[in-house]
Amino acid sequence: MTMSDTTAPAAPVVPTRGRLRPLGLDEVRITGGFWGDRQAINGEATLAHIESRLESEGWLPNYDLAVAGTLPEGRRGREFADSEVYKYLEALAWEISRTDAAADAPLEQRFRRVVARVAAAQEPDGYLNTMFGRPGQAPRWSDLEWGHELYCLGHLFQAAVARHRTRPDADDGLVEAARRAAELVCREFGPAGRDAICGHAEVEVGLAELGRALDEPRFIAQAALFVERHGHGSLREIEWGQEYFQDDVPVRDAEALRGHAVRANYLASGATDVAVEGGDTALLDALRAQWDRTVERRTYVTGGQGSHHQDEAFGDDWELPPDRAYSETCAGIGSIMFSWRLLLATGEARHADLIERTLFNVVATSPASDGRGFYYANTLHQRVPGVPADPDGTSKRASSSLRAPWFEVSCCPPNVARTFASLAAYLATADDDGVQLHQYAPASVRTTLPDGRVVALDVETGYPVDGNIRVTIVDDAEFTLSLRVPAWATDAELRVHSGDGVAEHPAAPGTVDIARAFRAGDVVELVLPLTVRTTAPHPMVDAVRGSVVIERGPEVLALESIDFGADIGDAVVAGDPVESGGRVALPVRRRSTGEVVETPLVAYHDWARRGPSTMRVWVPAV
Ligand SMILES: [Zn+2]
């Protein structure tokens, strides 16, 4: 295993303070199971698929055209096409670390080839964008509402952070390119520069992390300046209002996330970073309150966020229609980014609960089984069977009602790729006393606490198919092992198997701490009851009143027409769900005939994997 010579963990988010310390990809490894399978497909298929599309769509060749001087005529893709290249680089950087790829491995060679093409297009003063600034193109920073120049740089910064924290001696030019671009941003948009923000938040979270990674406080200060500038109406009024850009209300005065759901979550993530770095408890408290209200009133049962198609935005409180749920994959990833930062800052298990819900029911839903197709939107109710996408074609965002290989706006595929490649970083954390497990997957955890104690443990589990989680202590050590018991796991059991026998331990939902002198071979066994649950909606959500959703463990289940044998518009719940052999069936009455059919349910993340169907998550009970 290649060890970084920096002291920071090889992780996407490394605050300098906070309740919990993240662990890096060299400290936590996912060794198989539900997420291990997806990481393998991501590495084997998705990354190559993305690079091939970045080439064929012209988004990577744009950089070559910049060098050749023919960009204004030849440029292809939307304003934000550069950002997909950077998310791809970020995914590659994490994947190289995850698989411990050697310097001459194909993955590393691919990474270096792409970086060389990108860096060659950077201008002498650090500016880097293929859409603006050359003769024949619009001037730099001339369209802050829609130009996405700072947004793209934010993704460049995140890619550079991934590389710096995983291969600090790589010297491939990516970190230097990011540093020069960040210095340009500070010059152009600093306190004495343009009093402006980007129409799509992202540069805030990118600058804050680059500042942490390179120990450059001015980058964090610039991120804080961008956060504070939101909410003062500096962006042009558009048809969806300034809340679309989160430019309607200052971040610290807002009561909930609103407007475009990806923008809102990226901004909240960057705002959390600057609040933590600056010790700004008022801002952090405001963000925590916004998270609470957003999760209670503006979040689907899947963890999905964003009710509106036309502006990809949050609705009002309680406006959560299942059949027009937009629930963009990227909004789910943004929500995980925000929740993860709050978890590190506060240690509160509910943030990890939402991460789990969103991972299993939004992020895992997006990719096709072969890793070469994606959902952009994740509706909770499909009324008309989808039409299979052309495998060589390009879909408009959510118009494909089945997973599609690529989109005109293709933010989601590389976002899934970077999330899967770095997923181990979200499983566990450490503090002065021990290690905390937040998500359950087969994994190995090896870390050293600040006082030198070494913690080594292995996690074995078939989660979420079964709820047994066995944590084996590998080396003798006295420390506190903390386990998250999900809010739904009201009958969890916890036992410690040691040389002294078996000790039962309370396991109420939340965080359970086991402080002891562990011996090698001790096993902590957590049993999460995967009893099927029938969940009623909050009474304020009019759109699903009278319906129920069936859940099992962290998974939301769905009713598909292919199992029902008829359109799901004809379905009414006729009894309690029954489970046998790990399969769940629901007695469903056909409204048209009165016939009751015991119908298998599928995990929502598996819907439409057998071809086009109609589907619903919320099933009418009346
Ligand atoms: Zn997206």
Three-class SS state of 535: strand
> Which of 191-205, 211-225, 310-324, 394-408 is least confident?
394-408
CA-closest candidate to residue 87, choices 417, 450, 535, 552: 417
Q: How far is the CA of 265 from the centre of ligand 1 (A)?
A: 12
Distance (Å, whole) CA 91 – CA 324: 31
Q: How far is the CA of 493 from the centre of ligand 1 (A)?
A: 39
Q: Which two tokens stand for residue 471?
A: 């944590």
Residue 385 to residues 66, 377, 445, 602, 611: CA-CA distances in angstroms? 43, 15, 44, 17, 9
Phi, psi of 382, deg, nearest 5: -110, 115
Phi, psi of 342, deg, nearest 5: -70, -35
Q: How far is the CA of 515 from the centre of ligand 1 (A)?
A: 42
Q: Which two tokens stand for residue 288?
A: 């925590």
Q: How far is the CA of 298 from the centre of ligand 1 (A)?
A: 18
Q: How far is the CA of 374 from the centre of ligand 1 (A)?
A: 10
Ligand 1 ion: Cβ-proximal residues, 5 Å cutoff: 330, 411-412
Q: How far is the CA of 327 from the centre of ligand 1 (A)?
A: 10
> Burial level of 590, CB count in 10 A (0-12/13-18/19+)?
middle
Q: How far is the CA of 413 from the centre of ligand 1 (A)?
A: 7
Q: How far is the CA of 405 from the centre of ligand 1 (A)?
A: 13
pLDDT at 391 over 90: no
**CB 170 within 8 Å of CB 199:** no
Secondary element (H or E) of residue 111: helix 106-120
Secondary element (H or E) of residue 52: helix 47-56
Three-class SS state of 59: coil
Q: How far is the CA of 331 from the centre of ligand 1 (A)?
A: 7
Q: Provide the pLDDT for residue 1.
A: 34
Q: How far is the CA of 103 from the centre of ligand 1 (A)?
A: 32
Per-residue pLDDT tens digits for 332-368: 999 999 999 999 999 999 999 999 999 999 999 999 9
> Burial level of 351, CB count in 10 A (0-12/13-18/19+)?
buried
Radius of gyration from C-alpha coordinates of the chain: 24
Distance (Å, whole) CA 365 – CA 439: 18
Q: How far is the CA of 416 from the centre of ligand 1 (A)?
A: 9
Q: How far is the CA of 163 from the centre of ligand 1 (A)?
A: 23
Q: How far is the CA of 418 from the centre of ligand 1 (A)?
A: 13
Q: How far is the CA of 86 from the centre of ligand 1 (A)?
A: 14
Distance (Å, whole) CA 8 – CA 15: 9
Q: How far is the CA of 166 from the centre of ligand 1 (A)?
A: 26
pLDDT at 4 over 50: no
Q: Provide the pLDDT for residue 3.
A: 39
Q: How far is the CA of 329 from the centre of ligand 1 (A)?
A: 6
Q: How far is the CA of 92 from the centre of ligand 1 (A)?
A: 18
Q: How far is the CA of 328 from the centre of ligand 1 (A)?
A: 6
CA-closest candidate to residue 529, choices 465, 467, 463: 467
Q: How far is the CA of 553 from the centre of ligand 1 (A)?
A: 27
Q: How far is the CA of 407 from the centre of ligand 1 (A)?
A: 9
Q: How far is the CA of 564 from the centre of ligand 1 (A)?
A: 31
Per-residue pLDDT tens digits for 291-302: 999 999 999 999
Band (pLDDT 50/70/90 cuts) for residue 83 is very high
Q: Provide the pLDDT for residue 582.
A: 81
106 C-beta neighbours (distance < 10 Å), count: 10
> Which of 28-32, 55-59, 391-395, 601-605 is least confident?
391-395
Q: Which two tokens stand for residue 63?
A: 């950089």
> Burial level of 185, CB count in 10 A (0-12/13-18/19+)?
buried
Distance (Å, whole) CA 15 – CA 213: 9
Phi, psi of 297, deg, nearest 5: -120, -15
Q: How far is the CA of 606 from the centre of ligand 1 (A)?
A: 19
Secondary element (H or E) of residue 97: helix 81-98
Per-residue pLDDT tens digits for 170-226: 999 999 999 999 999 999 999 999 999 999 999 999 999 999 999 999 999 999 999
Tokens 């006393």, residue? Answer: 433
Q: Provide the pLDDT for residue 329.
A: 97
398 C-beta neighbours (distance < 10 Å), count: 20
Q: Provide the pLDDT for residue 7.
A: 76
**Strand extents, DSSP E, 241-281:** none
Q: Provide the pLDDT for residue 2.
A: 37
pTM as predicted: 0.98
pLDDT at 392 over 90: no
Q: How far is the CA of 544 from the centre of ligand 1 (A)?
A: 26
Q: How far is the CA of 391 from the centre of ligand 1 (A)?
A: 19
Count, in order, helices (H) and strands (E) of the chain. 16, 23
Distance (Å, whole) CA 554 – CA 356: 7
Q: Provide the pLDDT for residue 581.
A: 83
Q: How far is the CA of 332 from the centre of ligand 1 (A)?
A: 9
pLDDT at 5 over 60: no
pLDDT at 263 over 60: yes
Find the length of the chain.
622
Q: How far is the CA of 475 from the centre of ligand 1 (A)?
A: 43
Q: Provide the pLDDT for residue 396.
A: 80
Q: What is the DSSP string of 139-166?
A: PTTS-TTT--HHHHHHHHHHHHHHHHHH
Q: How far is the CA of 396 from the centre of ligand 1 (A)?
A: 12
Secondary element (H or E) of residue 551: strand 547-552
pLDDT at 420 over 50: yes
Distance (Å, whole) CA 121 – CA 389: 34
